[in-house]
Chain A
Amino acid sequence: MEEGKAYIESGILELFVLGQLTAQEQKEVQAMASSCPEIRQEIVAIEIALEKYAMQNAVKPTVGLENRIFERIGLIATASHPEAKVIPLNAAEVKINYQSKIRGLRLALVACIALLVVSVAALYSAHSDLGNARDQIASLSLDREKFTSTVNYMKSNNSDLNKLVAMSDSPDWKKIKLAGQKNPNDNMVVYWHPAGKHVMINTTKMVLPANDKTHQYQLWALVDGKPVDLGVFDVNPDTAHILVNMKEIGEAQAFAVTLERRGGSPTPTMEKMMAMGGV
């Protein structure tokens, strides 16, 4: 202990702390310190005293030197500075934003494609529906035409029937029955209005064999023993009109029908006399 005290008082420990000793002397002091706690404590006490002295003589560094030093050491580069933290976070957010935008755009694109497909299907469907509708319209139009023609036919028939009723009731109209000449069952009816010179035949009250395409029936009026042409007519089951107007005549004693070539003849062919009746 005495040795230690003398060593401490020699002042070598102060020089040791101040870095004034040679490498060899330093090793000796360190060896002494490790073997003698008292010396070790003395060294620490000297160090602390000088440390505090240095603290009291501190000089404030320029503001910003700190960052320069940390930059050099690479602290800022290793993202320890708040700014260095913030930037990657923002970048990440931007990236996330872009990703969500891209995702949104993809969804929009898929939706657009789906809509397009649906639209095309709907258009195709509408097109075929339109075709069907057009067909239906055409069909309906045809039906309507048929209906119209039927209505017209019936109107015409109705008109003819009304006329027939009127003619039957009117004393001005004469009803002349023509009897069959070739066949006793053949017969037909001619309506005549002498004052008006009107002549009509009733196709429903007509029993005559149907004529072919090269022949037609011809109506004649016998006026003072001479035949006068009153026009031709056909006998077939599809005759549209009940009443057929013939040529006018104001005076006649009898009416006759002959079968002539199509278009009629200037004079009746007597062998082909089919029906005849007197007024």
Chain B
Amino acid sequence: MYFLYISDSLEATKKISLSEEELVSKLKSQDTLAIQALYDMYSGALLGVISRVIQHTEVAEDLLQETFIKIWNSAGSYDNSKGRLFTWMMNIARNLSIDKVRSKDFKNSNKNQDIENNVDFIDAQKEVTFNEDVLGVRDLVTSLKPEFKIVLDLVYFKGYTHVEAAEELNLPLGTVKTRIRMGILELRKNFN
């Protein structure tokens, strides 16, 4: 349990980071080091997705917990030929969040909020943690053209299908598809 020694002795200032291959291998062999590394590397990103679907902090963090448990229990079903590990985890987090939002007990509670205001709400309420390794992060996010950003955020962060997004934004389905692609291409260009 070397990593725990490191992380505890440095009071969690030292985060675990493993390569994709190591992560997948350790996760499939149910090595607990994998879940620690996954948490250190991706808990913020996954909670970012969950929090944009569900604003209630406690419920969102419960969902993050459920997400990690499902990642741990479903590790055997992950196939790296079908996609990257993060994509797989992201889909688990998003699907759990959408299932929760649509569940009867959640709808009956006061925890839900008008879905249209979600993104702005999150950015106002949460401490959004940016990756310090990437320069000009705030500029990049804001520089993404608003017509691309709103479509991408609805589909990627909030779990809208592209059909739902088209209806929501009152846009043709083809335009939504194009804006999704253009938005991602803009991201790729900025990251490169």
Q: Show the binding face of A for B, using Cβ within 8 Å.
A: 11, 14-15, 17-20, 30, 34, 43-62, 65-66, 68-70, 72-73, 75, 78-82, 85
Contacts and interface: CB of A to CB of B under 8 A. Distances in A.
Contacts of B129: 58-60
Given A14-B181, A51-B86, A82-B8, A62 B68 contact: no
A58 B4 contact: no
Nearest to B130: A56
B171 interface: no
B59 to A, nearest CB: 12
B128 A58 contact: yes
B43 interface: yes
The 5 A-B pairs with the shortest beta carbon distances in the complex, nearest first, are A58-B44, A11-B181, A54-B45, A49-B187, A57-B48
B83 A47 contact: yes
Interface string B49-88: 1011000010011001100110010000000011110110
A19 B94 contact: yes
Given A58-B47, A59-B44, A78-B32, A45 B188 contact: yes
Given A15-B177, A18-B156, A56-B140, 13 more contacts: A11-B181, A15-B162, A18-B162, A49-B191, A58-B45, A61-B43, A62-B57, A69-B35, A72-B68, A73-B68, A80-B4, A80-B32, A81-B4
A50 B156 contact: yes
A182 B15 CA distance: 146
Nearest to B138: A56
B44 A18 contact: no
A62 B126 CA distance: 11
B44 A20 contact: no
14 contacts: A14-B181, A15-B180, A46-B184, A46-B188, A47-B86, A48-B191, A50-B90, A51-B84, A56-B141, A57-B128, A60-B44, A61-B47, A61-B61, A70-B32
Interface string B1-25: 1001100100000000000000000
Nearest to B160: A20
Nearest to B90: A54
Residue of A30, A44, A65 contacting most chain B CB atoms (<10 Å): A65
A20 B161 contact: yes
A48 B65 CA distance: 24
A47 B95 CA distance: 17
A43 B5 CA distance: 38
B186 to A, nearest CB: 9
B65 A11 contact: no
Contacts of A79: 1
Contacts of A45: 188
A61 B64 contact: yes
